[in-house]
Amino acid sequence: MEITFLGTGAGMPAKYRNVTSIALKQLQNGAIWLFDCGEATQHQILHTSIKPRKIEKIFITHLHGDHIFGLPGLLGSRSFLSGTEPLTIYGPKGIREFIETSLSISQTHIKYDLNFIEFEDYFYLDENDFIIEARLLDHGIPSYGYRIVEKDKPGSLLVDELKQLGVKPGPHFKQLKDGETIELEDGMIINGKDFLGPAKKGRIISILGDTRPTQTSIELARNADLLIHEATFDKDSEVIAEQYYHSTTYQAAQIAFKANVKKLCITHISSRFEKHDWPLLEKQAQDIFPNTMIAEDFKKIEVKFEHERVE
């Protein structure tokens, strides 16, 4: 899986940071999921290899403008760019009304099925290779954090051992890889599950919307390979962060530490911080959680398999 930051700023666009949008690309099939879609997200996409027609799902954390104002334009352009496959938008109650009203008033007609799944308090989706969970955080309006859990992958087929038994490459290999049982010409029965290496534990990515520090944040991020957490303010601005329902660099790092994540990426950086301030913000978080990086527009992070599990 590969994460691309299309926008990493808070509130309004700045010279070096557009407002929030994150793309998750599944490298095995090229499918793309967006998390939030701030103003000018489609402009940001033009500077990447992302194809709007490959966007299958859009997950919205909350309905503040810096997270949704890019949606109507992107949806219209996806249709102009020969996007015909269905697209589903997941988010808080109200996202459907916002989009349908915008498209209706502007007389924007799309050529694909647009589906909506709205939720309150909690959301759970078990689909194909992933489980996605959303839970309510602590912000000025309902704001959600998403936990994306990839289901465990079967281990590699032990090809050399099978060849020693006389199993030739071909259809049998696929059957065994799928865990099936086969019978060879000499009557030998082989169970595919006996010829698979250690399973690969699925990866976990947690993407949290705007929030004050909460216990829910820790639970959504528990043991994640990558936690993406807002850090709108610096360490010394805890009072103002509390007033505006946001987090500081220090608080984001505390969440990462308590949740035992592997890597933290802080984002949603206030425009009050100039480019020369970014290393300091990163360092503030690293003092608590060393494996921290600060997001920048167009930064990519590949989340690889790092652990194997013996069944």
State yes or no: pLDDT of 75 exceeds 60: yes
pLDDT more than 70, % of the chain: 98
Residues 244 and 102 in one domain: yes
Write down the pLDDT at residue 45.
Answer: 98
Percent of the chain with pLDDT over 90: 78
Q: Which residues contact 73 (CB under 8 A, 6 or more apart)?
A: 42
pTM for the model stands at 0.90
Q: In this structure, are 99 and 63 located in the same domain? A: yes
CA distance 247 to 5: 19
206 in the same domain as 179: no
- pLDDT tens digits for 126-154? 988 999 999 999 999 999 999 999 998 87
Mean pLDDT for 269-287 is: 97
Task: Give residue 276's pLDDT band: very low, low, confident or very high (50, 70, 90).
Answer: very high
- For residue 175, give its domain range: 159-195
Q: For position 72, which CATH number holds?
A: 3.60.15.10
Q: Domain check: are 190 and 202 in the same one?
A: no
- Statement: residue 306 has pLDDT above 70: no
Q: Are residues 206 and 259 in the same domain?
A: yes
Angle at 94 between CA 9 and CA 271, to 5 degrees: 10
Note the pLDDT of residue 166.
Answer: 80
Are 63 and 204 part of one and the same domain?
A: yes
Mean pLDDT of the chain: 93
Same domain flag for 208 and 221: yes
How large is the average pLDDT for residues 4-32?
A: 94
Cα atoms found within 13 Å of the Cα of residue 143, Cβ hemisphere only: 25
Q: Among 68-82, 93-107, 157-171, 269-283, name the one with the lowest average pLDDT.
A: 157-171
Catalytic residue among 36, 66, 225, 297: 66
Q: Which of 170, 195, 220 is the last residue of a domain?
A: 195
Question: 121 catalytic, yes or no?
Answer: no
Q: What is the pLDDT of residue 158?
A: 84
Annotate 174-196 with b (16+ C-beta within 10 A) or e (fewer): eebbeeeeeeeeeeeebebeebb
Q: What is the spatial distance between Cα 42 and Cα 48, in angstroms, rounded to a whole number?
A: 10
Instruction: Return the pLDDT at 310.
Output: 33
Whether residue 264 is predicted with pLDDT greater than 90 in this model: the reply is: yes
Q: Which of 267, 269, 268, 262 is nearest to 303 (CA)?
A: 262
| In a shared domain, residues 29 and 130 | yes
Count of the separate structural domains present in the chain: 2
157-210 residue pLDDT tens: 888 888 888 887 888 888 887 888 888 878 888 888 888 888 888 999 999 999
pLDDT tops 90 at residue 234: yes
